[in-house]
């Protein structure tokens, strides 16, 4: 009979030459979670809501929440486009002017069609398409200035910012454009569940679509690749210039949609409705953690950044802060977010250099 030991009886031999990765402890997991950008932003949002509620209890009410969401929607639309642009390493300063111009052209088109006896449904549909087309046109101009004229994005979009604001004043004479179908106000302000309106629901669906596209689709991967290294992206076969035109066109289209949203909410096209909105959109993206150098950031951060920006402005109004100070606060938020980014990236570079 054989006395050879079975496999289970063989003595085990210590494994040499292999490294077993240490499992992170609970404290390390918790630290990593609390260090995430979106978790930090969520904490900041909660603290802000608590602060403004203490200062004015009306802030924590369904009515105030509904107003914050209504103000959040156009900022979010602009911030989505701004996110894509910044991820490519660019910037779009024209979105505020595009919003105002789109709202005005939408109002002018609806007023003209209604005065000519066009059916209400056709009037609203054509007016909406005119507003969207206006924003798209501004975005295409930006894209061609950046890719064909080889202008820096800052200069190109600064030029269209001024041109858009000027065209808005020329078209309106500096006054609001009213006189469209009353059904527009009904559609724009009928609430569901106390806080939602049809335009707001559409904005949330648009947000979900572009969130998925950025995270899952080739369009999003190409956007990140161009912002990380446009030379390498071109070498990998990505049509960089064509993609940049699409990105700026997307930003303009969403600005046009934001202009239509504001028109449907107010029932009139205002030449000043887009003033300063580009600052709010950039603030949402930067506060959300997007690197202005491109190639880094998440749309989830932009969403929280837009909520923070909108919540701050609404809170300042409720506690009686003068409107002139509101843009100062937004500017401080942008500066603080950029400073934190620089500290974060500096620490990351040091850790890489040390090993």
For 266-309, how does the pLDDT look when each residue is reduced to its tens digit (9 = 90+)? Answer: 888 888 888 889 988 998 998 888 888 888 889 999 999 999 88
Q: Are 98 and 133 in contact (CB under 8 A)?
A: no
22 in a structural domain: no
pLDDT of the residue at 232: 94
264 in a structural domain: yes
13 in a structural domain: no
**Selection from 280, 285, 291 nearest residue 305 by Cα:** 285
Structure tokens at 170: 């020329």
**Selection from 30, 164, 28, 35 nearest residue 103 by Cα:** 164
For 131-185, how does the pLDDT look when each residue is reduced to its tens digit (9 = 90+)? Answer: 999 999 999 999 999 999 999 999 999 999 999 999 999 999 888 888 788 888 8
How large a percentage of the chain has pLDDT more than 70? 87
Give the span between the Cα atoms of 282 and 158, in whole angstroms: 14
- The phi and psi torsions of 176 (rounded to 5 degrees) equal -70, 145
Residue 213, domain extent: 39-341
pLDDT of the residue at 291: 86
Give the span between the Cα atoms of 37 and 42, in whole angstroms: 9
31 in a structural domain: no
92 in a structural domain: yes
Give CA angle at 246 (243, 247), nearest 5°: 90
26 in a structural domain: no
Q: Which CATH number do you get for residue 184? A: 1.10.3470
For 119-141, how does the pLDDT look when each residue is reduced to its tens digit (9 = 90+)? Answer: 999 999 999 999 999 999 999 99
165 in a structural domain: yes
In the predicted model, what is the mean pLDDT of residues 233-252? 96
Q: How many domains does the chain have?
A: 1
For 71-110, how does the pLDDT look when each residue is reduced to its tens digit (9 = 90+)? Answer: 999 999 999 999 999 999 999 999 999 999 999 999 999 9
Q: Are 263 and 269 in contact (CB under 8 A)?
A: yes
Predicted structure pTM score: 0.85
189 in a structural domain: yes
């Amino acid at each position: 009979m054989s006395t050879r030991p079975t496999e289970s009886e063989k003595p085990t031999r210590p494994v040499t030459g292999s490294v077993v990765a240490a499992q992170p402890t609970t404290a390390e997991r918790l630290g990593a979670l609390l260090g995430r950008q979106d978790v930090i932003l969520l904490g900041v949002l909660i603290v802000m809501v608590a602060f403004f509620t203490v200062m004015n209890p009306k802030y924590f009410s369904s009515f105030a929440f509904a107003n914050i969401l209504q103000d959040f929607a156009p900022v979010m639309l602009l911030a989505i486009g701004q996110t894509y642009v910044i991820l490519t390493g660019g910037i779009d300063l024209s979105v505020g002017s595009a919003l105002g111009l789109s709202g005005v052209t939408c109002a002018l088109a609806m007023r003209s069609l209604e005065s000519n006896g066009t059916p209400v449904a056709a009037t609203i549909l054509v007016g909406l398409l005119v507003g969207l087309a206006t924003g798209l046109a501004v975005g295409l101009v930006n894209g061609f200035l950046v890719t064909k004229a080889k202008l820096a994005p800052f200069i190109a979009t600064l030029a269209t910012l001024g041109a858009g604001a000027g065209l808005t004043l020329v078209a309106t004479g500096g006054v609001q454009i009213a006189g469209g179908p009353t059904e527009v106000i009904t559609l724009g302000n009928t609430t569901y569940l106390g806080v939602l309106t049809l335009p707001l629901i559409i904005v949330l669906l648009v947000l979900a679509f572009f969130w998925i596209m950025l995270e899952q689709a080739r369009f999003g991967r190409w956007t990140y690749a161009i912002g990380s290294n446009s030379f390498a992206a071109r070498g990998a076969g990505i049509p960089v210039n064509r993609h940049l035109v699409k990105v700026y066109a997307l930003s303009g289209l969403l600005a046009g949609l934001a202009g239509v949203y504001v028109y449907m909410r107010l029932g009139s096209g205002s030449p000043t409705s887009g003033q300063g909105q580009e600052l709010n959109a950039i603030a949402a993206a930067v506060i959300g953690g997007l690197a202005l150098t491109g190639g880094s950031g998440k749309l989830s951060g932009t969403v929280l950044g837009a909520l923070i920006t909108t919540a701050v402005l609404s809170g300042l109004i409720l506690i009686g802060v003068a409107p002139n100070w509101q843009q100062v606060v937004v500017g401080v938020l942008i500066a603080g977010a950029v400073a934190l980014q620089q500290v974060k990236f500096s620490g990351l570079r040091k850790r890489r250099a040390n090993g």
